[in-house]
Amino acid sequence: MKSLILASGSPRRKELLEIAHLSFTVQKSSVSENISGDFSPAQFVEQLALHKAQDIYRKNSSQVVLGADTVVVFNNQILGKPENDKEAFDMLTMLSGQLHYVFTGTAIICEEKEEIFHGVTEVKFWNLTSEEIEEYVSTGESSDKAGAYGIQGYGSTLVKEIKGDYYNVVGLPLARTVRELKKFGITNDLSQSRNKS
């Protein structure tokens, strides 16, 4: 029976798979998050998710590998992770009071097949003061987040409303991912949950 490998060091994605009661191991991909080419945001995250999955699959070809990548898109501009606090501040200033889109690409591959898809969620921020943005950046939460915020953390206080899959913003369109994994023979194990109760 094949086992699942998450090709990501993201603690959020790890937590999401745990929420779904999936058994898996983690192997962080070392591929660059910058890919060249004229890609739409959807194509960009799908290609990067696939590259991450392929990177780990080469060393684990008998297993099922899950790769994912998330970006924020505002005015057709892709916002990845900020390189420093100033870039985080600038990103959040740009997003203040604005509607933007969060794209997460997901790739699942094994020896027999591969499945690549993406989710899109619409997010709108409150109008933020410079002080509010500085306060948020000072928490350090921006540093490894696409668009410089984490909706599952203190960044939730920046968000006025969302339309679409919340978990897609966190880093994985969870419900669809679980359904796609079943096609690869990866199913959840609820027995541990029952034993705890």
* DSSP H or E segment with residue 196: helix 191-196
Question: Do the bridges between strand 24-26 and strand 4-6 make them parallel or antiparallel, or are there none, so unpaired?
Answer: parallel
Q: What CA–CA distance (Å, rounded) separates 197 from 190?
A: 11
55 is catalytic: no
Q: What CA–CA distance (Å, rounded) separates 124 from 69?
A: 21
126: which DSSP letter?
Answer: P
Catalytic residue among 69, 85, 144, 189: 69
- Show the tokens assigned to 134: 């500085």
Q: What CA–CA distance (Å, rounded) separates 43 from 123?
A: 20
Q: Which residues are catalytic?
A: 69
